[in-house]
């Protein structure tokens, strides 16, 4: 077990000029019928026009200068076959559970000061979203024991995203949807309870359901949320994060993004239909990759978001 020493905490997790290694989690299988004729398969290979979902993610990563090496945790042969050309990827086999895939990605870059994690089923992710996330992480980095996660305020879902199938967690001061980007310090995470396989799998399964998420973190969080909600005064988001940070000896920092696409992973039929329709409408077809110009169009039509 790694003990978090005060001297280590004085070191920044990531510097302004340092490039980041990325892990793309691509081992998940969707067994829900997404459309007529759909057969269960890897989420990473879900087709939008002539492109698999993971290609949108990889194209966005490759357009961000701050990204260095990319490791895909998932089926290497199937993914290489589905991609056009050589993306210069590294691979780890996907696990049977989320925790196995996550920990394999963490081990692949175990010597890195920080690792960017992203899921493969994000066809609406853009280079700008990734750049904004990393820029905010660098600006807020204060020590080597911080965990940054992306979040999207419910108020951000306007314009083209007004009717998006969002699943938000409600707090006293705001409602947020979890994003699918996280920046983690691998060395500082060893031995921290939240990163046990059982806890990781529980949090992942319940990530879009507030009560189940509290239970996955532990019974004190569940009781606290229920007690607060029972009196119509649930906790503020920062209160929950402060308690969680103390409990896990790790500072958990939310990064708010004005990019609803990072919260729209493909789990349900309505997710697939919305992403396919938006790609066709905004980018001229599902086979086209979201580009900086198209991203600007979506962001401007969505309008500014208010974050508390």
211-253 pLDDT, tens per residue?
455 544 454 444 444 444 433 346 778 877 787 777 667 788 9
Least confident of 23-32, 182-191, 219-228: 219-228
pLDDT at 296 over 50: no
Domain ranges (residues) in the chain:
20-195+249-299
Stated pTM of the model = 0.80
Fold category of 20-195+249-299 in CATH:
Spore Coat Polysaccharide Biosynthesis Protein SpsA; Chain A (3.90.550)
Report yes or no: 125 and 62 within 8 Å, Cβ to Cβ. no
Least confident of 56-70, 222-236, 258-272, 277-291: 222-236
Give the Cβ contact number of residue 150 at 10 Å.
26
CA torsion 201→51→282→294, rounded to 10°?
90
pLDDT at 193 over 70: no
- Residue 215: alpha-carbon gap to chain centroid: 20
Q: Which residue has the higher pLDDT, 13 or 285?
A: 13
pLDDT at 126 over 70: yes
Percent of the chain with pLDDT over 70: 70
Least confident of 21-35, 169-183, 190-204, 244-258: 190-204
What integer is the mean pLDDT of 96-109? 89
Burial class (CB in 10 A: 0-12, 13-18, 19+), 69: middle
- Give phi and psi for 220, each to the nearest 5: -60, -35
Residue with tokens 């904004």: 132
pLDDT at 286 over 60: no
């Amino acid at each position: 077990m790694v003990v978090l020493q005060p001297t280590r905490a004085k070191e920044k997790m990531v510097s302004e000029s340092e490039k980041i290694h990325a892990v793309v989690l691509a081992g998940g299988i969707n067994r829900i019928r997404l459309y007529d004729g759909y057969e269960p398969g890897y989420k990473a290979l879900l087709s939008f026009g002539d492109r698999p979902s993971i290609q949108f993610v990889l194209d966005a990563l490759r357009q961000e200068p701050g990204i260095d090496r990319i490791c895909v945790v998932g089926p290497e042969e199937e993914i290489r076959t589905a991609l056009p050309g050589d993306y210069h990827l590294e691979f780890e086999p996907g696990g049977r559970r989320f925790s196995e895939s996550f920990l394999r990605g963490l081990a692949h870059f175990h010597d890195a000061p920080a690792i960017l994690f992203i899921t493969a089923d994000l066809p609406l992710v853009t280079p700008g979203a990734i750049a904004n996330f990393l820029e905010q992480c660098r600006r807020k980095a204060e020590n080597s024991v911080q965990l940054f996660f992306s979040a999207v305020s419910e108020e951000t879902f306007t314009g083209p995203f007004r009717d998006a199938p969002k699943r938000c967690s409600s707090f006293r001061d705001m409602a947020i949807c979890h994003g699918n980007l996280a920046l983690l310090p691998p060395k500082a995470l060893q031995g921290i309870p939240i990163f046990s396989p059982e806890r990781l799998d529980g949090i992942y399964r319940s990530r879009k359901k507030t009560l189940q998420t509290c239970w996955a973190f532990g019974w004190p969080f569940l009781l606290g949320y229920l007690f607060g909600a029972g009196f119509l005064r649930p906790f503020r988001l920062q209160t929950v994060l402060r308690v969680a940070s103390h409990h896990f000896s790790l500072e958990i920092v939310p990064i708010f993004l004005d990019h609803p696409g990072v919260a729209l992973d493909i789990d349900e039929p309505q997710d697939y239909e919305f992403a396919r329709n938006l790609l066709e409408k905004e980018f001229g077809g599902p086979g086209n990759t979201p580009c900086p110009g198209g991203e600007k169009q979506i962001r401007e039509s969505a309008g500014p978001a208010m974050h508390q």
